[in-house]
Structure 1
Amino acid sequence: MKHPDILYKIETLRCERGWSIYRLSKESGVPASTIYNLSRCKTEPRLQTLEALCTAFGVRLSDFIAETSANTELSAKQQLCLKYFDALDSAKQEKLLAYMEGLTWSTYQ
C-alpha cells in the first residue's frame, strides 16, 4: 500500500463526512499536527495512527487497506495477520501493536 493511496483514502473519508482536520483529530484522538503532516506527505502513517483513523471513520482496518490496495496484493501471511488482528478486541489490538512495534524497533531506528 503506497502512502499517496492512503492519503487519498483518508482525505476522501474525511471530506465525505464534512470533517476538518481538527474534527478528525477530535474523533480519532490523533493529534491534528500528525494528520496535517500526513496530508502534506511529511510523515509516513503508523499502524496505530491508521487504526485510530479507521475507528473514527467507522471502517475496519482490513477493509481500509483492501480498498486502498486495489492494485497491490497482500501475501497470504499479511492477509492472515489482518484477519487475526480484526478478530481481537481493542485492548488486545493495542497490545499486539505495541509488541509488533517492539519487534521492529531496531529496524526503524
Structure 2
Amino acid sequence: MQEFDVVARIQELCQARSWTYYRLAKESGIPYSTLSTMLHKTNVPSVPSLMKICNGFGITLAQFFSDQDEAAKLTTDQKQCLVIWDRLDSTSKELALVYMQGLADRQEYKPSKK
C-alpha cells in the first residue's frame, strides 16, 4: 500500500486554488501559526484539524484522500466554474449558490402561452 502524503496534498490543493496558507487558515478556522507548523515542519494534522482544512477547501475527507483526478471528468465550463468558485469567500459562495438556484428555478418555470 502506498503512503499518502497529507502535507503534499494540502499544498497541492492550495496551489490549485491559488490560495496562500493564510487564506487556507482563514477559511478553515485554524490559526495560521498552527497551519504553518503543520506544513513547514511536515507534522501530519490530526483528524479534527484535517476536517477543518477540508471544510475550508469545501471538500470532504473522501475527496481529500481520493487518488482519482475528478477534475479530468469535468467539462471546460465546469472547470471554469470551479476555478472561480475557489476564489470566492464563504459569503460570496452562499450568494452564488442562491443566484444559481434562482436561475435553475427560472429555467424550470415556463409559463404556458395562451
Equivalent in the alignment of 1:34: 34
Q: Pairwise mapping of residues 93-104 of structure 1 onto structure 2 (< 5 A)?
A: none
Give secondary structure in 2 for the equivalent of 1:36: helix
TM-score (norm: length of structure 1) = 0.54
> Paired residues, what number?
67
Q: What is the rounded CA distance, in whole Å, between the counterparts of 1:40 and 1:2 in structure 2?
A: 19
Structure 1 gap segments, 5+ residues each: 69-109
Q: What is the rounded CA distance, in whole Å, between the counterparts of 2:14 and 2:44 in structure 1?
A: 18
Equivalent in the alignment of 1:63: 63
Q: Which structure carries more relative contact order (alpha carbon 8 Å, separation 6+)?
A: 1
Q: Deviations over 1:53-85 (max 9, x none)?
A: 1111111112212339xxxxxxxxxxxxxxxxx
Q: Which has the higher helix share?
A: 1
Following superposition, which runs of at least 4 residues in structure 1 exceed 3 angstroms of deviation?
Answer: none
Q: What is the rounded CA distance, in whole Å, between the counterparts of 1:14 and 1:21 in structure 2?
A: 7
Q: What is the rounded CA distance, in whole Å, between the counterparts of 1:63 and 1:17 in structure 2?
A: 15
Q: What is the rounded CA distance, in whole Å, between the counterparts of 2:67 and 2:27 in structure 1?
A: 22
Q: Cα offset for 1:52?
A: 0.7
User: Relative to structure 1, is the Cα distance of residues 66 and 50 closer, same or farther in structure 2, using a 3 angstrom cutoff?
Assistant: same
Q: Cα offset for 1:15?
A: 1.1
Q: Cα offset for 1:38?
A: 1.2
Give the root-mean-square deviation of aligned CA atoms: 2.1
Aligned residues: percent identity? 33
Q: What is the rounded CA distance, in whole Å, between the counterparts of 1:48 and 1:67 in structure 2?
A: 21
Q: Deviations over 1:3-57 (max 9, x none)?
A: 7x10111001011111111111110101111111111135321001110111111
Indicate conservation of the 8 Å contact 2:6/2:44, yes or no: no
Instruction: Give the structure with higher Rg (CA).
Output: 2
Structure 2 gap segments, 5+ residues each: 69-114
